[in-house]
């Protein structure tokens, strides 16, 4: 018997120039918009210009906050809110990578509730003003997930703020990802891959999330072949963006699993980009599975013959350097074990030794 509920409220609009072509869809969200973006990339890849054009077409007034850093902090969310709270902001357009979209979701909660920023971590089920997601990386899928991952410096880590903010619309235009450097392209692409895998090999997986994950894995596998020969054409970009948004839909249902829980420390302490931080944990993570039927199917779908072969590919396409001491490994393992929620999505029993094994088998160059 199938027992699950499935909800994906985000409207997805894809295609070249889809934002400007569909600017009418913005009318119903109000008369005053805040555009939230990173420091520079959206000014160079055409996404910010299109966003402004779409708003001007509809006579919607706007302000711009262009100071979202990578792995955005609670402080940045607060700054954007304080700078704009008296402007009557009706909705937010988030233009950029996962950092801009995640920060925008948290800001959208503050605009709706007018609360001190820290309360977004403690209060439950907070509503937000509408968010429109325009991704310019192809990896996080934040445009189709309800999650917002912020850096909480007081706790020395990154975490999901625990609210549910699905963007109202995701505009997917792969042209914005065309000038992304190769290293950012690969580190974000493997993030999408890890979402697909962790959603597929997950306690909460169901027939619908698996159907999406399987299609996403095929698209990722085709793109992986191109990335290995540095083919980053628009066709490859389109596949990666679609795989990434599909992966977002998958983890919206299932959540992520061990590598995401274990990778945040590698971003916070070692500075690895988010996707790479997860991917380096994959050799150990995949080898931990005792039941391997679905794991074998995953490898088949991406067209890679073994875990070792996948590790060789990741080593070749990702740019990273990482060393972990035994005492760091033990500290990270204890931190994961102290929060049972971090283990519950893994469909098999997880022991301390499993976690140590995963960190010790970290991918090295």
Interaction between residue 142 and ligand NAP (CB under 6 A): yes
Number of residues that bind ligand NAP (CB under 6 A): 34
**Shorter beta-carbon distance to ligand NAP: residue 131 or 310:** 131
Contact 168, 128 (CB under 8 A): no
| Closest distance of CB 162 from ligand NAP, Å | 12
Out of 140, 254, 311, 361, the residue judged to bind ligand NAP by CB under 6 A = 140
d(CA 172, CA 327): 43
Interaction between residue 39 and ligand NAP (CB under 6 A): yes
- The tokens describing 60, both together, are 């919607």
Interaction between residue 320 and ligand NAP (CB under 6 A): no
133 contacts which partner out of ligand NAP, Zn ion, none, CB within 5 to 8 A by kind? none
Q: Are strands 149-152 and 157-160 parallel, antiparallel or unpaired?
A: antiparallel
| Closest distance of CB 187 from Zn ion, Å | 11
d(CA 273, CA 33): 30
**Shorter beta-carbon distance to Zn ion: residue 50 or 191:** 191
**Shorter beta-carbon distance to ligand NAP: residue 71 or 76:** 71
d(CA 286, CA 283): 6
128 contacts which partner out of Zn ion, ligand NAP, none, CB within 5 to 8 A by kind? none
**Shorter beta-carbon distance to ligand NAP: residue 141 or 199:** 141
| Closest distance of CB 79 from ligand NAP, Å | 15
35's enclosing H/E stretch is: strand 32-38
Q: How many residues does the chain have?
A: 365
314 contacts which partner out of Zn ion, ligand NAP, none, CB within 5 to 8 A by kind? none
Q: According to DSSP H, which parts of the chain are helical?
A: 18-21, 41-44, 47-57, 74-84, 98-113, 119-122, 182-200, 207-228, 234-254, 258-268, 274-279, 282-287, 293-302, 307-317, 326-337, 352-360
Instruction: Tell me the C-alpha to C-alpha distance, in Å, between residue 293 and each of 1, 265, 297, 312.
Output: 21, 30, 6, 22
Q: What is the CA radius of gyration of the chain?
A: 20
Interaction between residue 143 and Zn ion (CB under 5 A): no
> DSSP assignment, residue 69?
P
**Shorter beta-carbon distance to Zn ion: residue 168 or 191:** 191
Interaction between residue 191 and Zn ion (CB under 5 A): yes
Contacting residues toward ligand NAP, per CB under 6 A: 38-42, 45, 70-71, 96-100, 102, 136-137, 139-142, 145, 147-149, 158, 176-177, 179-180, 184, 188, 191, 274-275
Residues that bind Zn ion (CB under 5 A): 191
């Amino acid at each position: 018997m199938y027992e699950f509920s499935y909800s994906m409220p985000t409207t997805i609009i894809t295609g070249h120039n889809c934002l400007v072509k569909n600017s009418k869809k913005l009318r119903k969200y109000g008369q005053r918009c805040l555009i939230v973006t990173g420091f520079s990339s959206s000014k160079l890849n055409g996404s910010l210009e299109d966003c402004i054009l779409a708003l001007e077409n509809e006579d919607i007034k706007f302000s711009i906050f262009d100071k979202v850093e990578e792995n955005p902090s609670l402080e940045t969310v607060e700054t954007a809110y304080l700078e704009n709270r008296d402007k009557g902001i009706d909705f937010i357009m988030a233009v950029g990578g996962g950092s801009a979209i995640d920060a925008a979701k948290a800001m959208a909660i503050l605009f709706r509730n007018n609360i001190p920023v820290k309360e977004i971590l403690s209060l439950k089920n907070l509503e937000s003003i509408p968010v429109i997601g325009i991704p310019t990386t192809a990896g996080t899928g934040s445009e189709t997930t309800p999650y917002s991952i912020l850096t909480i410096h007081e706790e020395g880590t990154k975490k999901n703020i625990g609210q549910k903010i699905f963007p109202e619309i995701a505009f997917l235009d792969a042209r914005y990802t065309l000038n992304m450097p190769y290293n950012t392209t690969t580190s974000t692409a493997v993030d999408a891959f890890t979402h697909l895998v962790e959603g597929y090999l997950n306690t909460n997986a169901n027939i619908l999330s698996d159907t999406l994950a399987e299609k996403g894995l095929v698209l990722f596998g085709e793109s992986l072949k191109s990335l290995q020969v540095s083919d980053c054409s628009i066709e490859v970009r389109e596949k990666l963006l679609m795989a990434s948004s599909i992966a977002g839909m998958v983890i919206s249902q299932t959540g992520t699993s061990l590598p995401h829980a274990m990778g945040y420390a590698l971003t916070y302490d070692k500075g690895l980009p988010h996707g790479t931080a997860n991917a380096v944990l994959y050799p150990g993570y995949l080898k931990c599975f005792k039941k391997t039927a679905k794991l074998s199917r995953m490898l088949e779908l991406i067209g890679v013959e073994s875990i070792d072969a996948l590790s060789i590919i990741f080593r070749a396409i990702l740019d990273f350097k990482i060393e972990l001491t035994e005492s760091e490994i033990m500290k990270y393992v204890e931190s994961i074990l102290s929060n049972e929620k971090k283990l519950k999505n893994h469909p098999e029993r997880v022991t301390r030794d499993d976690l140590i094994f995963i960190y010790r088998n970290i991918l090295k160059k």
